[in-house]
Amino acid sequence: MEKSIEKIWNEAFINEQSMLVPKINDLYNQKSKSIIHKIQRTYEFDNKGLLPIAGIVAIGGILLSETIIGLYGTLLILSLYYFNTKLLSRFDTLDVKSDNLTYLKNYRAIMNSVAKATKRMFIFILPLLVLSIFVLAFFVKENSFLSKYISEDTTLLEIIGIGGSVALIVSIISMVAFKISTQLLYGTLLSKLNDIINEIESLQTT
Amino acid sequence: MSTDFYTSSILPHAGIIIKICRAYTDSQEDFEDYYQEACLQIWKSRTAFQEKSKWSTWIYRVTLNVCLTLSKKSQRKNYTTMHNEASVTNNAFENEDLNLLYDAIKKLSEVDRAIILLHLEENPHKEIAAIIGTSANNIAVRINRIKKQLKELLDGKIN
C-alpha cells in the first residue's frame, strides 16, 4: 500500500461541499412504528398468556377431582381472554391514514381506556367471580375442596359473607397486582410513547 | 427541529455527520436513519452545549454517541448487516479507495472507528482524548495501532 490513509481520506473529501446531504424526514414515522409494534406485541403476549393458564386450571381441576370448579375457572379465564380481545380490537378502529401525531395520540387514548377497563375488571369483576366460585362450591359442596370448610349448617348467606370477605381481599390484591404488572409490562413503553408525542409536538412548535 | 437551526448550525457540519454515519452503517436506509437521529440529537442537546469546546467538536461527540448507541442496539437485535461496499449511495462515496478504506474501518472496534475518524478529520490528540474520554498519550498509541491494523487490512488493495 503506497497511499497513506490520511491521503486517501483527504483526496476523497477534497470537495466536501458537494456532498449529498440526506433529507430529514420520516424519522418519527419509523420511531412510531417501532414503539407501536412493541406495544402491540406486549398486549398480545399478555392476553395470549391467559390461554395456557386456562388449560392448567382445567387440567389441575380434573387431576384434583375438582372438575366442576376447574372447568368453571377455565370458563372464567377464557371469558377474560375474550373480554381482553374485544378491548384490544379498539386499536383496529384507529385511522392509519391520519398523521403521525394524531395517530399516536389516539393510540395513547385507547391504551388509557383499555387500562381503565382492565383496572375496573381487576377491582370489581374478578372479586365477583371469586365470590361466584364460593356460591358454586356451596351448591356442589359434596364434590368441592371447600366442602371441608362448609358444614351442613352453613347457610348461603354465610357463604356469601365469607366469599364477600375473600372477594374484598382479592380486590385489594388485584388492584396492587394490576398496578405492578401494568408498570412492569407497559410503563417503559408508555413513557417512550409519551416522549415521542412530546418530541413531535415540540418539533412542530419550534 | 427548526429549519433555521438545521440550516445555520447543522448543515455547515453535515460532512462530519455523514462521514461518521457512513463508518457505522452498511445500507442507505441505516445511513439515513443514523444521520437523521444524529441531527435530531444535536438539536435536542443544543441547550447542553456550553461553548467550552468548538461547536464542531460537540457535533462529533453527539454523532459518535448516536452511532455507538444505534449500532449497539442493532447488535443486540442480532441484526446482521449485509456486506455491500456500494450500498450507501452518496457522491462523496464514489471513490473506490475511500470505499475500501471505509470497509477496513468497519472491521475495527466501534471505539477504534471513532478514534480513527476523528484523527482523519485532523482533530488534535488532545481533542480526540476529550471526546473519547481518555488521555492524549493513549490516543497516540491507539492511533498508531489502528493505522497498522488498517494498513494490514488494505495491503495489496490500494496502489
For residue B31, give the CATH number of its domain: 1.20.140
User: What pLDDT score was predicted for residue B90?
Assistant: 61
Is residue A129, in this structure, part of any structural domain at all?
Answer: yes
| Residue in B with minimal Cα distance to A19 | B92
Please choose, from the candidates B76, B2, B107, B79, the residue with its C-alpha nearest in 3D space to the C-alpha of residue B46: B2
A196: chain B residues, CB-CB within 8 Å: none
User: What pLDDT score was predicted for residue A122?
Assistant: 84
Q: Is the confidence at residue A25, as pLDDT, over 60? A: no
User: What pLDDT score was predicted for residue A82?
Assistant: 92
Q: Which of B15, B147, B154 sits opposite A16 (nearest CB)?
A: B15
Domain range for A109 is 28-205
DSSP B129: H
Q: Which of A8, A20, A24 sits opposite B6 (nearest CB)?
A: A24
Q: Is the confidence at residue A69, as pLDDT, over 70? A: yes
In sequence order, the 6+-apart residues with CB closer than 8 A to the CB of A176 are none
Residues in chain B with pLDDT values less than 70: 1-4, 74-94, 158-159
Q: Which amino acid is at A95?
A: D
Is residue B23, in this structure, part of any structural domain at all?
Answer: yes
In this structure, are residues B39 and A24 in contact, taking their beta carbons and an 8 Å threshold? yes
User: What pLDDT score was predicted for residue B147?
Assistant: 92
Over range A158-178, report the average pLDDT. Answer: 89
A17: chain B residues, CB-CB within 8 Å: 15
Look at A23 and A6; give whichever has higher pLDDT.
A6
Please tell me if residue B120 touches chain A, with a CB cutoff of 8 Å. yes
Please tell me if residue B141 touches chain A, with a CB cutoff of 8 Å. no
Q: What percent of chain B has pLDDT over 70?
A: 82
CA dist A160 and A131 (Å) reads 7
Structural domain count, chain B: 1
DSSP A151: -
Angstrom distances, CA of residue A180 to CA of A158, A185, A186, B149: 33, 9, 10, 51
In sequence order, the 6+-apart residues with CB closer than 8 A to the CB of A18 are B91, B92
Q: Within a 10 A sphere around the Cβ of B48, how many other Cβ atoms?
A: 8
Domain range for B140 is 3-154
Q: What is the pLDDT of residues B116-151, one digit of tens each?
A: 988 998 888 988 888 888 888 889 999 999 999 998
CA dist B48 and B118 (Å) reads 22
8 Å CB contact of B36 and A22? yes
Q: What percent of chain A has pLDDT over 70?
A: 83
Radius of gyration of chain A (CA): 28
CA dist A163 and B132 (Å) reads 65
Q: Which of A2, A13, A203 sits opposite B159 (nearest CB)?
A: A2
Q: Which of B37, B91, B155 sits opposite A27 (nearest CB)?
A: B37
CA distance A7 to chain B (A): 9
Is residue A9, in this structure, part of any structural domain at all?
Answer: no
Please tell me if residue B153 touches chain A, with a CB cutoff of 8 Å. no
Structural domain count, chain A: 1
Mean pLDDT lowest for which of A34-38, A78-82, A102-106? Answer: A34-38
Is residue A69, in this structure, part of any structural domain at all?
Answer: yes
Please choose, from the candidates A157, A137, A156, A132, the residue with its C-alpha nearest in 3D space to the C-alpha of residue A147: A137
CA dist A66 and A81 (Å) reads 22
Is residue A102, in this structure, part of any structural domain at all?
Answer: yes
Is residue A48, in this structure, part of any structural domain at all?
Answer: yes
CA dist B31 and B26 (Å) reads 7
In sequence order, the 6+-apart residues with CB closer than 8 A to the CB of B3 are none
The position carrying cell 485532523 is B122
Is residue A11, in this structure, part of any structural domain at all?
Answer: no
Is residue B159, in this structure, part of any structural domain at all?
Answer: no
